[in-house]
Amino acid sequence: MALIVDKTTTGREYKVKDMSQADFGRLELELAEVEMPGLISCRTEFGPSQPFKGARITGSLHMTIQTAVLIETLTALGAEVRWCSCNIFSTQDHAAAAIARDSAAVFAWKGETLQEYWWCTERALDWGPGGGPDLIVDDGGDATLLIHEGVKAEEEYEKTDNAEFQIVLTIIRDGLKGDPKKYHKMKERLVGVSEETTTGVKRLYQMQANGTLLFPAINVNDSVTKSKFDNLYGCRHSLPDGLMRATDVMIAGKVAVICGYGDVGKGCAAAMKQAGARVIVTEIDPICALQALMEGLQVLTLEDVVSEADIFCTTTGNKDIIMVDHMRKMKNNAIVCNIGHFDNEIDMHGLETFPGVKRITIKPQTDRWVFPDTKSGVIVLAEGRLMNLGCATGHPSFVMSCSFTNQVIAQLELWNERSSGKYEKKVYVLPKHLDEKVAALHLGKLGAKLTKLTKDQSDYISIPVEGPYKPAHYRY
């Protein structure tokens, strides 16, 4: 796509695939609202006081239907919003169209190139001459990264062999031609960021440890109502969804290897087991390995099982998990996918550059790669990127309502405390009573009724009647 910004009749900027899908997007958005009670409650509770009045929010987060409900919650609370996706395949084009038409500046489409991806990120951060956003909603940390790298842009960096990262530098360099203080201005204005996912949070803690973090950050990922819900139950839903849409393969009877048994891996393993697969887990952490065993799963190394399994899914958050040499040993038409992190969990580079390898695209996001010697092929989903977003529609609305309600609450907290000095240039988690509130907002939809502590019981266990109910270290 030509990288030219479009404008709505009201003058709002956007760049999406097909504006004619806006009506379809609106219909699905309306369905999603019914499934996202936490966000709708935020509109009801906070909308009247317009707490985000005057706030500019930039989001870098999969531009899906669920995110659309988040965006319109932010705008319902008074914010102005600019948005991009945090993954080249994760945008739902009808969602992007509906938001671009009705609510916020969107720069996102399904199937961006890496150049396009960073262009979109840069567009979402660019609020014009007056500087950047007040707040960032981040997922994976790319918006945050761009600002931090921008600020460092005058310095000499050492050569990097990360192809994707080179693009960031180019984007920054081009921007600096226009305003050599662009990112410094952005940094000055920024109140803070709320970060959504494990990988982005890890980056933030590293910056905090290095003393390079430029603004306060709220780690939304480690809210219980995020990591133990979205990561776990979201993936339990969306892994089979992605597998079925991409390949129609029968899961029952197959051997599925789940690499990593963290929250995401637990959700994936549960989904595969429940669908009738035999599940084998690979792990580096003995505690997680022992958890897998207690659920009846086998724990082995990838090498042990590479030639007998049918489905391989990475969830580790690390790189170099499934290498091209593994793929060469797999059964014909073994399925290889990633639901954890970046596309480097799978050795896509090794696969793409393997001499004589042949790529047969069955349909978008579903490729069969055939090795020249064996004529045997593996089926790689979403080019090694997040398969639930590339091949299906990501996590369902209800669980995303939990995650996004945390986001809204974190954004409110940062904004309300922008002048109080409460938050330093550190990483924070939300207090437990807000975590519990997020959960409470989702119970009614599912017909649940909570029990109330009596005063006497409250005294007996020294826990307030209204909570919080657990100590900080509680693991759920």
Task: Cite the annotated binding site for NAD(+) by residue number.
Answer: 197-199, 262-267, 283, 339-341, 388, 395
- Identity of the residue numbered 187: K
Query: Which residue in 28, 80, 122, 230 is the catalytic one?
Result: 230
User: DSSP letters of 380-399?
Assistant: EEGGGSBHHHHTS--S-HHH
CA dihedral 205, 208, 212, 216 (to 10 degrees): 100
From the list 114-122, 131-139, 414-422, 443-451, the region that binds a second copy by CB under 8 A is 443-451
φ/ψ region of 473 (left if φ > 0, alpha if ψ in -120 to 50, else beta) reads alpha
Tokens of 3: 């990288």
53-75 core/surface letters (b: 16 or more CB in 10 A; e: else):
eebbbbbbbbbbbbbbbbbbbbb
Active site residue 419: no
Binding of residue 4 to a second copy (CB under 8 A): no
- Identity of the residue numbered 370: V
From the list 95-103, 158-166, 186-194, 237-245, the region that binds a second copy by CB under 8 A is 237-245
Site for a second copy in 245-264 (CB under 8 A): 245, 247-255, 263
| Residue 106 or 235 having the CB closest to a second copy | 235
Site string for a second copy, 10-29 (x = CB under 8 A): --------------x--xx-
Among the listed residues 391, 401, 445, the one whose alpha carbon sits nearest the alpha carbon of residue 67? 401
φ/ψ region of 11 (left if φ > 0, alpha if ψ in -120 to 50, else beta) reads left
Site for a second copy in 392-411 (CB under 8 A): 392-393, 395-399, 402
Active site residue 235: yes
307 touches 331 (CB < 8 A): yes
- Identity of the residue numbered 314: T
Binding of residue 236 to a second copy (CB under 8 A): yes
Beta carbon of residue 183, minimum distance to a second copy (angstroms, whole number): 25
Binding of residue 323 to a second copy (CB under 8 A): no
| Residue 25 or 133 having the CB closest to a second copy | 25
Query: Which residue in 196, 343, 345, 435 is the catalytic one?
Result: 196
Beta carbon of residue 462, minimum distance to a second copy (angstroms, whole number): 7
Site for a second copy in 268-287 (CB under 8 A): 273-279, 282-287
Binding of residue 329 to a second copy (CB under 8 A): no
Active site residue 90: yes
Query: Which residue in 237, 395, 437, 442 is the catalytic one?
Result: 395
Site for a second copy in 101-120 (CB under 8 A): none
Active site residue 457: no
Site for a second copy in 291-310 (CB under 8 A): 291-302, 304, 308
> What end-to-end distance do the CA atoms of the chain give, in Å?
46
Tokens of 445: 């939809």
Binding of residue 448 to a second copy (CB under 8 A): yes
What letter would DSSP give residue 404? H
Active site residue 18: no
Active site residue 291: no
Pairing mode, strands 358-363 and 366-370:
antiparallel
Beta bridge partners of 381: 366
Beta carbon of residue 116, minimum distance to a second copy (angstroms, whole number): 26
Active site residue 227: no
d(CA 391, CA 385): 10
Tell me which residues are annotated as active site. 62, 85, 90, 139, 196, 221, 226, 230-231, 235, 341, 395, 403, 407
